[in-house]
Amino acid sequence: MKKNESSLTSLISAFGRAYHSQYDTPKIFDDFIAKDLITQKEFSDIRENMIKGISFFNKEIAMKFQDQPDEILKWITQVQLSPITLARAAYCENVLFHEMLLGVKQYVILGAGLDTFCFRHSELNNSLEIFEVDYPATQDFKKIRLANANYQIPDNLHFVSMDFTKEFTIQNLVEEGFMLNKKTFFSLLGVSYYLTKEENSTLINTLFTKVPSGSSIVFDYADDKLFEEKGMSNRVQNMVKLASTGGEPMKSCFTFDEIEKMLENSGLLIYEHLSPATINNQFFGDRSDYLSAFETIHYIHAVKK
């Protein structure tokens, strides 16, 4: 991934979170800091590009709202862009807070991008060590944005620069202060489907080889209908197409049995599995807008035995 690509990916994700925080009610996940990491020009440019691209996503909506650009933007963000990002972030952080009550002292965010957890929860500065793992270019980009927005990097936030999708070693974390004897929580969001099944298995095995029993992970994965399911307004099909044309094709999808076996081989048990229907009930119930759980995407919380 090139520098401009990593920056763009993190910006679009931040755009979706910022839009939700500013315009949607009720909130699924309120990232009220995301807007501070995007310039007004970038927000405007992404907005315009989304609106101009509506015909790719849905020609009927393009015609219906041709004179209502704000409604087009709302449709794209709520149908295509935001559902996976918002619900998985909300789920992940809910689990993290529960795990902290059970003794978790370290949080490792794989593929952190412009994640703002540390800055939304400054009350944890003395109780949780946070390690953000991502491409060096993405992290340099983030540090500049934090500085421009006058955010000070606290002592409990550690940046670990590497392409963890190619090669991950616990030693990279240890060199930044990670303690092998402390109970750890990992998040791997929006990553698994861009790796092969073998790469997913290797990564999870490496993550959990040396951490204590009770350490756990939350990740999302695509089920075995990924490449045949069209989804509401073809959004699943669109997601797969966009990933491919963007140079990062989706490589893997799993049956539940395959996920269970992969985790078992790494000494993990599934504590909780959220299907799309469960996600919809838990995070998208009683809404009057377009937001709903994405077809084919599941969430897993797995714990080391």
**Sequence-separated (6 or more) residues with CB below 8 Å from residue 122:** 154
Range name among 6-10, 34-38, 213-217 with the lowest pLDDT average: 6-10
Burial class (CB within 10 angstroms; exposed 0-12, middle 13-18, buried 19+) of 201: middle
CA distance 19 to 66: 21
pLDDT of 181 reads: 97
* Percent of the chain whose pLDDT exceeds 90: 93
Position 6 scores a pLDDT of: 59
38-46: which pairs have CB atoms within 8 A and are 24 or more residues apart?
A: 38/11, 38/14, 42/11, 42/15, 43/15, 43/18, 46/11, 46/12, 46/15
pLDDT at 1 over 50: no
CB 266 within 8 A of CB 260: no
**Alpha helices (runs of H) in 102-169, residue ranges in sequence order:** 117-120, 136-148
Q: Which pLDDT does position 4 carry in this prediction?
A: 53
Which residue(s) pair with 161 in the sheet?
134
Domain boundaries, the chain: 83-304
Share the mean pLDDT of the chain: 95
| Amino acid at the residue 214 | G
Is residue 170's pLDDT more than 50? yes
pLDDT for 7 beyond 90:
no
Positive or negative: CA dihedral 261, 90, 75, 40:
negative
Say which residues have a Cβ less than 8 Å from residue 30's Cβ, sequence separation at least 6.
Answer: 20, 21
Instruction: Check residue 116 and give its pLDDT.
Output: 98
The answer, yes or no, to whether residue 2 has pLDDT greater than 60, is no
**pLDDT band for position 168 (cuts 50, 70, 90):** confident
Which pTM does this prediction carry? 0.96
Cβ neighbourhood burial of 136 (10 Å; 0-12, 13-18, 19+): middle
Q: Is 209 helix (H, G, I), strand (E, B) or coil?
A: coil
Residue 237 pLDDT exceeds 50: yes
Confidence tier at 153 by pLDDT (50, 70, 90): very high
CA 138 remoteness from chain centre: 15
Residues 247 and 231: their CA atoms lie apart, in Å, by 22
Q: CA-CA distance, 200 to 191, in Å (whole number)?
A: 9
Q: Which CATH architecture has domain 83-304?
A: 3-Layer(aba) Sandwich (3.40)
Read off the tokens for 299: 């969430």
